[in-house]
Amino acid sequence: MLVSIHLFLRHDEFSNIKVNDIQRDLSIFKDDIIEALAIRVCGKTDKIWRTLILWRKDDVPEFCPIRHVLSYVHLAGIENGYLFPNL
């Protein structure tokens, strides 16, 4: 939910994000820390894919979307396919 809130995504846009939609070349890394993740999304009325930036939030780590996404990906063992599969 944090990712969806920070990127202003609808449920269908959020649930269609795949691991390959994370663009490493546009993401921001600083001293082995991920400062921002670039994620490709296609909105409801968009004709083309858009790249949105998900920023790190250090002031309140409990609500940092990057920490939550990376923890989830690691614990769920997701390597490819949908980032948030429909169980």
- With a CB cutoff of 8 Å and minimum separation 6, the contacts of 26 are 38, 51, 53
pTM of the model: 0.79
Q: Given CA atoms 38, 81, 13, 85 in this order, what sign does their dihedral have?
A: negative
Beta partners for 36? 28, 55
Q: What is the CA radius of gyration of the chain?
A: 13
Q: What is the pLDDT of residues 16-71, one digit of tens each?
A: 888 899 999 999 999 989 999 999 998 888 889 999 999 999 898 899 999 999 89
